[in-house]
Amino acid sequence: MGVGHPECPARLRAIESRLQRSGVLERLQRLEAPRASREALLRVHSAAHVDDVLDAPASGYRQIDPDTLANPHTAEAAQRAAGAAVLAVDTVQAGQAELAFCAVRPPGHHAEYDHSMGFCFFDNLAVGAAHALAGGLRRIAVVDFDVHYGNGTANIFRNDPRVLVCNTYQSPLYPYWASDAANVHFVDVPLRAGTDGAAWRAAVERAWFPALEAHRPELLFVSAGFDAHRDDPLAHLNLEAADYAWLAAWLQAFAARHCHGRVVATLEGGYDLHALAESVEAFLQPFLER
């Protein structure tokens, strides 16, 4: 999105090189992300929005909002990021993997039904989740621990009680979400700047875990953004890599009980390259120990 923008190609390179150095990469099955079909995108986005994203500029940049720019590669990247989530669903549903982690850019959870925003063009996770529902699943859950509220996913599934949407997020902070306590399938946990891992874990245990147990999802989705890390430059929560490993261990055990172990995670934010790579590895670790 231009020189100096935090949502940069180096993010995926940092993750890949960390996983390579630590030996994790060679224990993973790697799949190339296909382009999402138009049909898959239209389950969660308007035709006008899909056309708008696919109409990338031939050169230079097109400004979407103050932080979000499209370039000549955006259309393909956005289609493949969403396509990764679809392939991830198919892969876990076929029993070929338990966790599918989509290391994708651009991120997705701010993208709304009819517009791009906040570095996001298509809501990758929502495209995958809608694909799973179209395939016949009756109950799914989304957990989103990105430091920014996942407004796109929440709004897309606002009126769909099949989808439980659990968020923890710094408040106030972009996108300035007003918590919707009346919506019983939203579990919104706003956290003040400065919240540390212990307080975050306590909030997750109190709010998310009982709701997840009650919902009994058949497939678990994770909006895996790592910008609540204490070193992240865009926000002010104080999580550490060990906190992501803690949640992943719980999610893995939960999925084993309810979802045949099936988890689909998509990368969202995370802008300190070292913290991002370390946190992704920590998140994957409990699934590798199986």
Task: Tell me the two tokens of residue 276.
Answer: 């991002």
Question: Of 290, 286, 283, whose CA–CA distance to 102 is shortest?
Answer: 283
Please report, in angstroms and rounded to a whole number, the separation of the first and last CA atoms in the chain.
Answer: 38
Sign of the dihedral defined by the CA atoms of residues 132, 260, 85, 221, in that order: positive
Torsion-angle region of 223 (φ positive above 0: left; ψ -120 to 50: alpha; else: beta): beta
Q: Does 148 bind Zn ion (CB under 5 A)?
A: yes
Stretch that binds Zn ion, among 3-11, 75-83, 139-147, 257-265 (CB under 5 A): 139-147
Minimal distance in Å, beta carbon 227 to Zn ion? 4
Name residues whose C-beta falls within 8 Å of residue 192's C-beta, 6 or more positions apart in sequence.
Answer: 170, 171
Which segment (59-67, 77-85, 158-166, 221-229) binds Zn ion by CB under 5 A? 221-229
CB of residue 119 to Zn ion, shortest distance in Å? 8
The single residue listed with the structure tokens 């998310």 is 208
Binding Zn ion (rule: CB under 5 A), the pick from 225, 244, 255, 261 is 225
Binding of residue 146 to Zn ion (CB under 5 A): yes
Q: Which two tokens stand for residue 189?
A: 């946990």
User: Any contact of residue 106 with Zn ion (CB under 5 A)?
Assistant: no
Catalytic, 115? Answer: no
Q: Residue 105 interacts with Zn ion (CB under 5 A)? A: no
Per-residue x/- track, 258-287, Zn ion (CB under 5 A): -----------x------------------
Nearer to Zn ion, 47 or 176 (CB): 176
CB of 146 to Zn ion, least distance (A): 4
- Distance CA(270)–CA(228), nearest Å, equals 8
232 binds Zn ion (CB under 5 A): no
Q: Which amino acid type is present at position 3?
A: V
The catalytic residue among 45, 109, 110, 185 is 110
CA angle 246, 140, 129 (to 5 degrees): 100
| Residue reference for tokens 């969202």 | 268
Residues that bind Zn ion (CB under 5 A): 146, 148, 225, 227, 269
Catalytic residues: 110
